[in-house]
Structure 1
Amino acid sequence: MLVKNIKSAFYVWALVFLTILSGTACKKEAEAVTKTEAETNNLVSTSFVGYMPASAIRDLATANGYPQYNEALQYDVVVFKMVYYTTYQGKQTQASGLMCFPRNMPNPPAILSAQHGTLFAHKDAPSNFPNSFNGPELFASAGYATFIPDYLGYGASAQILHTYYNEQYSALAVIDMIKAGKIFCQQEEIPVSDKLFLAGYSEGGYVTLAAQKEIENNPAHNLKLTAVAAGAGGYDLQDMLSNITTAPSYNHPSYLAFLLQAYNTANGWNRPLTDFFQEPYASKIPALLNGSKTGSQVNAELVKQPNKLFAPAFFNALKGSGEDQVKEALKANSLTDYAPKAPTRMYHGTADDVVPFTNSQVTYNKLKANGAKDLTFHSIPGGTHGTTFQPMISELIPWFASFNK
């Protein structure tokens, strides 16, 4: 997978180039280090991070076995961290993300909001670049003004438990960053086109469709989507949890702990974790989800059999009657009750053991039944959750490019 394989090398290269910024062609960007909240609408601040030549990005792709991307990686990239306002539990809250701009393009670039997959460790948030690298940064070298939101729970909002698979907060984290990013471009006279793309994988696939739904159903945002691509997200949460709880084991119990604790927190339920989980896991989970551990480390501390992880009464209620509060929340946050309007592609690998392949099939069928006219489903034969990302990106780049002609 491109993202994981080039991460270490990219980190070394990025540190080198970020130490030689003085005297480069980025004087204008470097001078735009800080903007105060009083000068903008929801833009709080921006910080200049660095500059990366396209040649270095191409070398990294080639060195890690992906020369097929070199033709698309044409432009030098300048990087900023952004802090902006969004909403959490009815209050204005600061959030953060990364902005990556291509340099010296012949025409203004389109905006691409790229949504990352599930993160457990706070250090991996996109705004921690170059210490973190999530992959979507490469889109900037392919000619897109690329916005990468951290989401609530990371970066500037790390004091909040991440709002995992929450439709409202997921959508607004993306939309509010796009709005703040546009303000920044206007202030700094950075030209961008009127085209707007969304793309994401895994949790990022879910966040992408959540943002699309909110944008297309709420004209007040004053945003128009050009095209959307989402891969391997858990869009139908009821169906996904049903598949997992009826299986004898699930190799990624960290996601189950994250989902229930996130709902318990964001919705203000504040139920004891023993309502959901057996001991010793109920007592362990708060520390496991405090942002200091990776997903693999969390998985190692939890049992893989759902009937041993979940409290017996809760587990039985999930499969039968009861636990209406949880079931209603899963239903309310499932993305099956709208019809995408912009051209949209869904991707999923047939051998995915993290998010079941059938989840995308079920979601696609429901969205088509709702009236989605320009929606296609692309299955990746034999693709796992880790390997499907690459063929998705290989198709995505030329498809998005076709809208820029």
Structure 2
Amino acid sequence: MPHPIPFTRFRSRFLLPGAALAILLAGCGGSSGPTVDDTPAGRGALLRNSPTRLLSLDVAGVGTQLNKFGPQLLAIAGAPKCGIDFHRVEYNTVGAAGEATTASAALLVPTGADPACGGQRPLVLYGHGSSFQRKLNMADIGDMTNEGAGRISTPAAMYAAQGYIVIAPNYAGYDTSALNYHPHHIAEQQSKDMIDALAAARTAMARLTEPVAGNGKLFLTGYSEGGYAAMATHRAMQAAGVTVTASAPQSGSYAESIDYEALGTPGAFDEPGAFSLSSQFQLVLQITAWQKAYGNLYATPSEVYSSAHASAMETLLPTNVALHTLVPEGKFPAYFLSTEMANYAGLSAAQKGAFGTPANSLMNAGYLGRVLADIAANPCPVTSPLAPLACSPANPMRAAWLKNDLRTWTPAAPMLMCGGKGDPEVNFAHARLTHAYFQAHGSTAQLLDVDSPVTANDPYARPKTLFAAIRQALIDSGDDPATVDNYHGFMANVACEVAARDFFSRF
């Protein structure tokens, strides 16, 4: 069973050849963690000994550190105006079932003499993309073995170095969080986590040696899973009466149900080799999140997974183990689907070669068959712009993915949804169908396809031009711009981050 949500992170590599840099410049211009704090404050309360400043960089130091991710990062984001203090904030939040737990976030505070770096400043609440690395800590940009360093480099360059205060949650289940799983794409939990990180960061800002404060402007953004979390957070804040200045969710799977429902299409499981190992990891992460949230997908994991591997699946991810070792060491099965699948008998010999024995396959064929039967028996109009979720699924896994589809509201504050129509990891239909739903219900949210031609008086000419320049630079260097890593993880990400900041600058 595939999942469209990207596991690949924005590489922040910007390691294109020298000629590519010239093109860009010419085209675009310048473990259990701490115990839950038992204070009455509850959710959003700072944990003891928080915040902790991990690194303090002046303007020159910011430039030096960010250049470690490739000189193109600053060529696109602009020269730093501010130094940055990197703080880790640890706080109380909840897990998928509302259970008390902890999480951590990066708090990036601009410093320096430039007027943009002092006084009250706008806040950016930033969500990162999906990750399998439990140690992810975006407050620690100095540790290049930490995946969080690459994740935070972009908001550091785009926002903090230009005067915005950045709050970037690591999410429950990562870094020092007490949670032993991650509530991936559980919209209610992820919005609470983001909101709790913001509350804790605001408390921390007032407790710094040199206190700082926001100026009343709050921007929400993020990429991939972070785009999904940003939209879910906007929805939750609007429902709670919290003012959002503007949001810019990027390349997220907002229409959560569309790819899962497509699994009922005849032939969808004929080529299990199309289900990459990373998409299988993603699926395990997701099934655990659904089970923890709703408790009704299965009585025991062996109902969903093959019995040989079932017992380990709930605690496998996120992990501190190298992913490439999981299959060779027998911690993860070598095959996705087994020969017990109903479609197996009618396959060609070559197709059958991609199916394993039940003991060496991930999915329990009987459970998967019941999910597919429910899709056939209780169809959902998931591409409808008016009522895409108007259906009554009987299967609990289907109910879980439909519950986390974000087409249930309309944003009142300005919103820009950004992505690319050729994205091989997150289908642009997520943004297109969500935008259509918003329009059908009276919202003025905007939709940007960075993989489209620049038009006359185009307000998004800059990110579109940037996207095209990076694609051409990749081609010129002999690379393939259509891969997941290049398209979703690099081209669309860079262009959408630029579009988001340009969008926020209007408010």
Q: Same fold (TM over 0.5)?
A: yes
User: Mean alpha-carbon deviation: is it higher for 229-238 or for 378-387?
Assistant: 378-387
The answer to whether 1:380 aligns with 2:451 is yes
What is the aligned partner in structure 1 of residue 223 from structure 2?
Answer: 201
What is the aligned partner in structure 1 of residue 22 from structure 2?
Answer: none
What is the aligned partner in structure 2 of residue 52 from structure 1?
Answer: 57
What is the aligned partner in structure 1 of residue 12 from structure 2?
Answer: 4
Superposition deviation, residue 38 in structure 1: 6.1
C-alpha distance 90-287 of structure 1, shift in aligned 2 (>3 A): closer
User: Mean alpha-carbon deviation: is it higher for 38-47 or for 174-183?
Assistant: 38-47
Check the 8 A contact 2:52/2:88 in 1, yes or no.
yes
What is the aligned partner in structure 1 of residue 346 from structure 2?
Answer: none
Determine helix, strand or coil for the equivalent of 1:153. coil
What is the aligned partner in structure 2 of residue 369 from structure 1?
Answer: 440
What is the aligned partner in structure 1 of residue 90 from structure 2?
Answer: 83
Superposition deviation, residue 254 in structure 1: 1.4
List per-residue Cα deviations over 1:321-365 (Å, max 9, x = no partner): 176211112111110110011111112222323222222222221
The partner residue of 2:288 within 246, 261, 277 is 261
The partner residue of 1:159 within 161, 179, 184 is 179
Check the 8 A contact 2:223/2:250 in 1, yes or no.
yes
Check the 8 A contact 1:140/1:146 in 2, yes or no.
yes
**Cα distance in structure 2, aligned partners of 1:194 and 1:379:** 30
Structure with the higher fraction of residues in strand conformation:
1
Check the 8 A contact 1:117/1:204 in 2, yes or no.
yes
User: Mean alpha-carbon deviation: is it higher for 53-62 or for 101-110?
Assistant: 53-62
**Cα distance in structure 1, aligned partners of 2:326 and 2:264:** 19
List per-residue Cα deviations over 1:193-229 (Å, max 9, x = no partner): 100001111111111111000000112xxx3111111
- Counterpart of 1:43, as a letter, is L
What is the aligned partner in structure 2 of residue 314 from structure 1?
Answer: 367
TM-score, scaled to structure 2? 0.66
List per-residue Cα deviations over 1:169-214 (Å, max 9, x = no partner): 1001111111121222234431321000011111111111110000
C-alpha distance 142-87 of structure 1, shift in aligned 2 (>3 A): same
Structure 1 unmatched runs, 5+? 8-35
The partner residue of 1:394 within 485, 492, 498 is 498
What is the aligned partner in structure 2 of residue 339 from structure 1?
Answer: 410
What is the aligned partner in structure 2 of residue 12 from structure 1?
Answer: none
Check the 8 A contact 1:264/1:271 in 2, yes or no.
no
C-alpha distance 47-107 of structure 1, shift in aligned 2 (>3 A): closer
Superposition deviation, residue 49 in structure 1: 1.1
- Counterpart of 2:288, as a letter, is Q
Identity %, equivalent residues:
20
Check the 8 A contact 1:81/1:96 in 2, yes or no.
yes
**Cα distance in structure 2, aligned partners of 1:265 and 1:339:** 28
The partner residue of 2:125 within 82, 92, 113 is 113
What is the aligned partner in structure 1 of residue 352 from structure 2?
Answer: none
Superposition deviation, residue 56 in structure 1: 3.4
- Counterpart of 1:42, as a letter, is A
C-alpha distance 346-385 of structure 1, shift in aligned 2 (>3 A): same
Matched positions, count: 372
**Cα distance in structure 1, aligned partners of 2:140 and 2:313:** 25
**Cα distance in structure 1, aligned partners of 2:73 and 2:307:** 45
C-alpha distance 272-37 of structure 1, shift in aligned 2 (>3 A): closer
- Counterpart of 1:394, as a letter, is V
C-alpha distance 396-266 of structure 1, shift in aligned 2 (>3 A): same
Check the 8 A contact 1:185/1:192 in 2, yes or no.
no
**Cα distance in structure 2, aligned partners of 1:261 and 1:245:** 22
Higher relative contact order structure (alpha carbons within 8 Å, sequence separation ≥ 6): 2
Check the 8 A contact 2:257/2:401 in 1, yes or no.
yes
Q: Point out the structure with max Rg over C-alpha.
A: 2
